[in-house]
Chain A
């Protein structure tokens, strides 16, 4: 029997070594597989999925460092351009794709912030700077990046309750009211989301 594949069928991507019988959509692939497709084939669909997964976390990271919305947009744009350009430099043996992308975005933001601050020669401050030390700041940036990625990976209905609870500060009863859901449903979705996020937040991004 001859099987014809319609040319107009949705594109399926199969990384090297995968069975050609399995239809793999970019959305179902790991970040590492997507980065490899970008590196080897300059695959725009793979890049698009990476963009969808990472845009909010990278944008938030860059804004946290720069504290300037306009420059943040430019730097986030530059970070994604760098991911596209430098994908060949990623090797999965050295760590996760998330860690690699975190490093690219953070470096882009730090470079931009250094370029912005003029060199000022003057008196040293007489009080210690309350800002966290660079290492501590990096860990905190990494954790926030990791949490944002994990939240973005949740199904919509779970992400909604998590964002309202933890990022908008609503009580569960208020969430129930706002979403017109029974309180029990809000509690179930919250718990389910936390369970789903736990393994994602078990490993360090930059392992």
Chain B
């Protein structure tokens, strides 16, 4: 086949090919992470790694802030209790990083009854300070900022808590800010993907 004929063949192929579909960012991340999480790991959360009194839901204005995320349901446990009978089947995970080596690993379970469990494990994240608390956010593909959960730490050791989000919620970015209960000051970015 001549060179020109070859180029015409490619052109004809292009002309009869429909436009490719853009992969939504949230779907892309979910697909990658779901693949890398296969086969699903079943992680048993030891009693000592659960709340053990080290976590507490930020009170007052912070809790109101969380309530604003109407679609999200907080399912925190305390005193060593835990949802899901102590097991957590991870479908995909996201790592968040911050200054001074602070990290958080967010594991998402497979959907169940329209909800997806989310386990957040932080390391090196000190208490937010007087009158402050931490808040986790998601950015949806439409650009909306959704508050997922507010929390605080008792110390910078490794700690873990769980919450649930709607299984169908799509998002492409996750981050944690430090907020003031007075709501007066600008939130500070603490951890981000």
B23 at the interface (CB under 8 A from A): yes
Judge if B42 is at the interface, Cβ distance under 8 Å: no
A198 CB contacts on chain B under 8 angstroms: 6-7, 9-10
Given the known A-B contacts A63-B21, A73-B27, are A44 and B36 also in contact in the complex, defined by CB atoms under 8 Å?
yes
Which A residues lie at the B interface, using CB under 8 A?
A: 44, 47-48, 51, 55-57, 59-60, 63-64, 72-73, 76-77, 80-81, 83-85, 143-144, 147-148, 151-152, 162-163, 166-168, 191, 194-195, 197-198, 201
Q: Can you report 25 A-B residue pairs in the complex whose CB atoms are below 8 A from each other?
A: A51-B28, A51-B35, A55-B31, A56-B21, A56-B22, A59-B23, A64-B18, A72-B21, A73-B31, A77-B31, A77-B35, A81-B38, A84-B35, A143-B13, A147-B13, A151-B20, A152-B20, A163-B19, A166-B15, A166-B17, A167-B20, A168-B19, A194-B10, A197-B10, A201-B9
B-side residues, CB < 8 A to A, are 6-7, 9-11, 13-24, 27-28, 30-32, 34-36, 38-39
In the complex, A60 Cα to B18 Cα: how many Å? 9
* Contact across chains for B21 and A60 when beta carbons are under 8 A apart: yes
Most chain A beta carbons < 10 A, residue from B16, B20, B24: B20
Whether B20 pairs with A195 at a CB distance below 8 angstroms is no
Q: Which residues in B have their C-beta under 8 angstroms from that of A167? A: 18-20
Indicate if the CB atoms of A56 and B20 lie closer than 8 Å: yes
Contact B10 A201 (CB under 8 A): yes
Q: How far is the CA of A148 from the CA of B23 in the complex (A)?
A: 13
Closest A residue to B14 by CB, please name it: A166
Q: Considering only CB atoms, which chain A residue lies closest to B21 in the complex?
A: A60
Q: Contact check, A148 vs B17: say whether CB atoms are below 8 A apart.
A: yes
Closest chain B CB from A32 CB (angstroms):
18
Given A73-B24, A166-B17, A167-B20, residue A47 in contact with residue B6 (CB < 8 A): no
> How far apart are the CA atoms of A80 and B15 in the complex, in Å?
28
B34 with A60: CB separation less than 8 A: no
Provide the bound-state CA to CA distance between A172 and B129, in Å: 60
Q: Which 9 A-B pairs have the closest CB atoms?
A: A167-B19, A84-B35, A77-B31, A73-B27, A166-B14, A80-B35, A147-B17, A60-B20, A60-B21
Main secondary structure of the interface of A (DSSP, over half): helix
Chain A proximity of B36: nearest CB distance (Å):
6
In the assembled complex, how far is the CB of residue A145 from the closest CB belonging to chain B, in whole angstroms?
9
A144 to B22 Cα, complex, angstroms? 15
Chain A neighbourhood of B22, CB < 8 A: 56
Q: Are B13 and A148 in contact (CB under 8 A)?
A: no
CB distance from A104 to the nearest CB of B (A): 12
How far, in whole Å, are A152 and B21 apart by their CA atoms in the complex?
12
Q: Given the complex, which residues of B lie within 8 Å of A73, measured CB to CB?
A: 24, 27, 30-31
> B18 near A144 (CB under 8 angstroms)?
yes
Chain A residues near B38: list those with CB within 8 A.
Answer: 81, 84-85
Tell me whether A81 and B10 are in contact in the complex, defined as CB-CB below 8 angstroms, given that A60-B20, A73-B27 are known contacts: no
Complex alpha-carbon distance, A135 and B31, angstroms = 29
